[in-house]
């Protein structure tokens, strides 16, 4: 998956103070700076001597790459950025980044400005992303699920999932996994006429199972999920919407274009959709992927005046080619840390 036009991004090296002359880290890693005294003379002072009460607000305003570089300057700077999470990357005017992963640990990260990085993330080897929200990924791997922040390697294991494999499973979570009120919902079609939803509450040891029978053809393949106002929203690849509320009630809706005038019995949808977003953004070309690559993508919620859910997609390889399967996920590039013994 290596690309000659991408930059090799070694997260460990950035935090240990290794840099290249072209990187933002190089500009930040100067050992000393010049400070003008009250007598107009130039005095030399180490940047690492700056007080933490000045460093911490700086760290809080940095994007992901700059934050990783900042943390690599010295131990004091790393300590001063303990609570920094690159929150600026989740502001409403910031588009998500895209992370490509596959059968090994080498990944491609494409920023919203079009900058490409190669990055090593062993935890993604053989895993599948089911949900992405505010920098956290919900991953499935060999019957187990875990929350994961790929840029800090923070990981929170969940109880074993009822299914040993996932196919068209789609998931959402209500809040960050470190929140006491976090809920996780994973939905799939167990038969042509049955929807199966498995839910996990924060701190629970066992998933709860909920099923809903529906007419044949009523719901097509579910391609996106999110949470809003105590309800999980599940969109199919057509115009159908299924909701599941925390009081365990199901509802079914048909999504129509917004009418000019308010119609009786028609409610505004609080969440918009981005369908075929990977294709519309010409991402295969942006990523430099060859024609023989198939890729399955996991969407995310983009926060704006009206939040928009990027739906999952599957882009097939060109016909008559030997297909190479990759996976990808839209992600807000955040940096979260948890204690080594962090439990669900």
Could you give the dihedral angle defined by the CA atoms of residues 177, 73, 75 and 137, in that order, rounded to the nearest 10 degrees?
A: 10
* Token representation of residue 332: 């807000």
Pairing between β-strand 208-213 and β-strand 194-201 as defined by DSSP bridges: antiparallel
Rounded to whole angstroms, how far apart are CA atoms 170 and 189? 10
Residue 94 in this model has a pLDDT that exceeds 80: yes
The reported pLDDT for the residue numbered 91 is 82
Longest distance between any two alpha carbons in the chain, whole Å: 84
The reported pLDDT for the residue numbered 23 is 41
Phi, psi of 215 (to 5 degrees): -60, 150
* Token representation of residue 21: 């002359």
Neighbours of 113 (CB within 10 A): 7
For the residues 7-12, what does the mean pLDDT come to? 63
* Token representation of residue 242: 């299924």
The reported pLDDT for the residue numbered 38 is 44
Each domain of the chain, given as residue ranges in start order, spans 94-331
Strands (E), 41-135: 42-46, 97-101, 106-110, 116-120, 128-133
Q: Per-residue confidence at 44, pLDDT binned at 50, 70, 90?
A: low
The reported pLDDT for the residue numbered 326 is 96
DSSP letter string, 321-333: S--EEEEEEEE--
Per residue in 211-267, pLDDT (tens digit) is 999 888 788 999 999 999 999 999 999 999 999 999 999 999 999 887 777 777 778
Per residue in 164-186, pLDDT (tens digit) is 999 999 999 999 999 999 999 99
Q: Which of 175, 284, 190 is nearest to 230 (CA)?
A: 175
Please provide the CATH number assigned to the domain covering 94-331: 2.120.10
């Amino acid at each position: 998956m290596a690309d000659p036009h991408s930059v090799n991004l070694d997260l460990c090296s950035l935090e240990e103070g290794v840099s290249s002359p072209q990187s933002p880290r190089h500009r930040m890693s100067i050992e000393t700076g010049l400070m003008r005294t009250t007598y107009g003379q130039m005095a030399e002072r180490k940047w690492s001597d700056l007080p933490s009460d000045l460093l911490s607000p700086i760290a809080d305003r940095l994007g992901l790459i700059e934050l990783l570089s900042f943390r690599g300057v010295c131990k004091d700077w790393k300590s001063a950025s303990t609570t920094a999470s690159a929150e600026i990357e989740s502001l409403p005017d910031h588009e998500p980044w895209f992370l490509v992963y596959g059968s090994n640990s080498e990944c491609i990260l494409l920023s919203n400005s079009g900058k490409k990085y190669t990055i090593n993330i062993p935890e993604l080897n053989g895993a599948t992303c089911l949900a992405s929200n505010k920098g956290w990924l919900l991953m499935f791997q060999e019957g187990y699920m875990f929350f994961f922040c790929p840029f800090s390697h923070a990981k929170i294991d969940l109880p074993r999932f009822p299914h040993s494999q996932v196919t068209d499973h789609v998931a959402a979570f209500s809040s960050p996994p470190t929140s006491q009120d976090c809920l996780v919902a994973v939905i799939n079609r167990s038969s042509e006429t049955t929807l199966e939803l498995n839910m996990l509450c924060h701190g629970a040891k066992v998933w709860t199972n909920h099923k809903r029978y529906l007419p044949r053809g009523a719901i097509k393949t579910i391609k996106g999920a999110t949470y809003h106002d105590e309800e999980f929203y599940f969109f199919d690849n057509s115009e159908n919407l299924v909701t599941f509320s925390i009081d365990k009630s199901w509802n079914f809706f048909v999504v129509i274009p917004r009418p000019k005038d308010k119609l009786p019995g028609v409610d505004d949808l609080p969440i918009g959709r981005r369908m075929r977003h990977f294709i519309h953004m010409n991402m295969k070309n942006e990523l430099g992927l060859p024609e023989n690559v198939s890729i399955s993508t996991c969407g995310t919620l983009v926060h704006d005046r009206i939040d928009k859910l990027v739906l999952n997609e599957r882009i097939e390889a060109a016909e008559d080619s030997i297909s190479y399967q990759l996976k990808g996920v839209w992600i807000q590039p955040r940096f979260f840390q948890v204690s080594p013994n962090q439990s669900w």
